[in-house]
Amino acid sequence: MSFKINTFYNQALTAANNLLTNTVDAQDVLDAQTQGLKGIDASHVSGLSLDVQVQNAEKTLTDLQDSLTAAVTNDPNLLDRSKSARKLLLSSSLSKYTDKMNVALADSTTTGQTILDLLTAGEQELQKDRQSDDGQGASADQPLATQITAALQLVNQKSQGVQNEINQDDSLSQAQIDQQTATNQQVLQQAQTDLSGKTNAQALADRLQDALSDLNQIHVPNSVSLADQKSTAVANLDKLYGQIKDAIIADNTLTSSQKDQQLADLDHAKAQGDDKLNQSVRATELNAQIEPINQALSAAHVVGTAVDSQRQSQETWLDNQIQALTDRLSAQAVSSADETTLQETIRQTKASLQGQIQQAANADDLQAVQMFP
């Protein structure tokens, strides 16, 4: 009788091992284990001594723990910390039920049913340990594809958040915005490619962490605040204003009235420029204003004709005036003495005006020469 029972047990165990050998994934392992254990449990029949039943039951639990541990190790859906937790639980549960069986064996009231009940409870707990890590890592298994989808969603959300930070940063120049935006897109695209190609949960989690860390470092505020950038822009405008004002005042090609008009235009351009700079709400707006404002100030100073050219024009004008007087004198009937006197007066006047023209240092001096009676 004992030989038949042992043979039956060995056959059941062999069948279970064959089922496990032919499995291709974790679910097949679980299905095979369930079917095989039913056959093994059937071997625990009355007639075997309790110590043999305990030995058989312990071997059944050990084999189950080994197969479940292998399934955990090869499960691509689990993180390393979850695998470690489940393996620890499997080992702990095996020890617990092995101890319980040994305690039961020493109890005179123990029956074969007691051992079978402990075996069933141990099997159930081991199966539970395979499916749950007791709060470590993922508490419930998720297909890798689902985890990849979730990881992609996380990096997409993070990248969008980073882009929002870049867009809302009033201290960044347009060049800085463009550079950080390009980096954000590059990091996101690489992360999407890498995450989509991962073949296990741990590699996925590691790459996700790296991607989030990389994205978190992209937005770098300008080291100079918008307020300080405004102050610098206003100071530069003040400096340019002073330079142009000095240039207008020192410009000898301009008359006093021309200088007054240009200085008034310069003051107006400066006032408008100050308002635009101070009202800028972003560095991009501030930077866009600077060049047009500078051009407006520079346009206020219009250099006149060179003094030498103005002098030549004055000399031509004087020659024309003298010739006109001479012609008019010739057309009049005057005595020789009067004609001689008038010609001398014209000569002296011309010489005086020519001297003033030659000595004129600026447009005002030349303009004064034009006041010829």
Specify which residues 46 forms β-bridges with. Answer: 48
**Per-residue confidence (pLDDT) for residue 21, from 0 to 100:** 47
- Greater confidence (333 vs 108) lies with 108
**Per-residue confidence (pLDDT) for residue 304, from 0 to 100:** 78
Compute CA 232 distance to the chain's CA centroid, rounded to the nearest angstrom: 27
**Per-residue confidence (pLDDT) for residue 321, from 0 to 100:** 80
| Tens of pLDDT, residues 203-260 | 999 999 999 999 999 999 999 999 999 999 999 999 999 999 999 999 988 988 999 9
Overall average pLDDT of the 150-167 stretch: 98
Contact 122, 61 (CB under 8 A): yes
Contact 352, 242 (CB under 8 A): no
**Per-residue confidence (pLDDT) for residue 248, from 0 to 100:** 97
**Per-residue confidence (pLDDT) for residue 261, from 0 to 100:** 96
* Neighbouring C-alpha atoms within 13 Å toward the C-beta of 314: 27
| Tens of pLDDT, residues 181-211 | 999 999 999 999 999 999 999 999 999 999 9
Measured at the alpha carbon of residue 174, what is the angle toward residues 173 and 179, in degrees to the nearest 5?
A: 100
d(C-alpha 50, C-alpha 69), whole Å:
28
Give the number of other Cβ atoms within 10 Å of residue 245's Cβ: 19
d(C-alpha 43, C-alpha 252), whole Å:
120
> Helix crossing, 26-41 with 50-73: angle to 10°?
180
**Per-residue confidence (pLDDT) for residue 371, from 0 to 100:** 47
| Whole-structure pTM value | 0.61
d(C-alpha 93, C-alpha 58), whole Å:
12
For residue 357, pLDDT over 50 is answered with yes
Specify which residues 48 forms β-bridges with. Answer: 46
175-198 burial string, b = 16+ CB within 10 Å, else e? ebbeebbebbeebbeebbebbeeb
Contact 88, 60 (CB under 8 A): no
